[in-house]
Amino acid sequence: MLRRSFTASFALAALALLGLAGPVAAGEQVPFHGSYEGRFTQAPIPGTPTALVAARGTGEATMLGHFSFDFPLTVNVVLQTGSGTYTFTAANGDEVFADVVAQSSLLPNGLRHVVEIGIITGGTGRFAGATGSFIGERLLDRATGDVIGFFDGTISSPGAGKP
């Protein structure tokens, strides 16, 4: 019963995020997928059931090549849901921004499994005005602070080829 409640909450949050994304600009969508690894930190917000969780690291992805990432989330530690704005930065400095909702669960081995839905809201350089979406999964090792994950979706890059 509790798992259904989390699933329903996550689905509703994802639909709300999709609704907030507004109309997307027309543009050819191309595959956008990659993998990454890094470290995360968590800081409780006193007097609330929330914490600030930030993951940073590097990875490889289509359209980006080698990239760095910054994934800050505000997480409800009771419901194990969160939201935030992600930034992927390509080696040349071009950025992709995405609004993300996430839900996590604790695995029997002590790792935390996080599933995320991201809506690409734009970027800089060749990603200025980009649209798209992705689903991501990652594992967090709470004992070491390690994070490893992947994402898969589509992106447009209307700024490609513009000076």
pLDDT value at 160 more than 70: no
What does the pLDDT look like over 40-69, one tens digit per residue? 999 999 999 999 999 999 999 999 999 999
**Gap between the terminal Cα atoms of the chain:** 54
- Please name which of 75, 124, 77 lies closest in space to residue 100, comparing C-alpha atoms: 75
Percentage, residues of the chain above pLDDT 70: 80
List the chain domain ranges: 2-20+30-155
Q: What dihedral do alpha carbons 13, 18, 22, 26 form, nearest 10°?
A: 170
What does the pLDDT look like over 6-36, one tens digit per residue? 444 444 344 444 444 443 444 789 999 999 9
CATH number of 2-20+30-155: 2.40.480
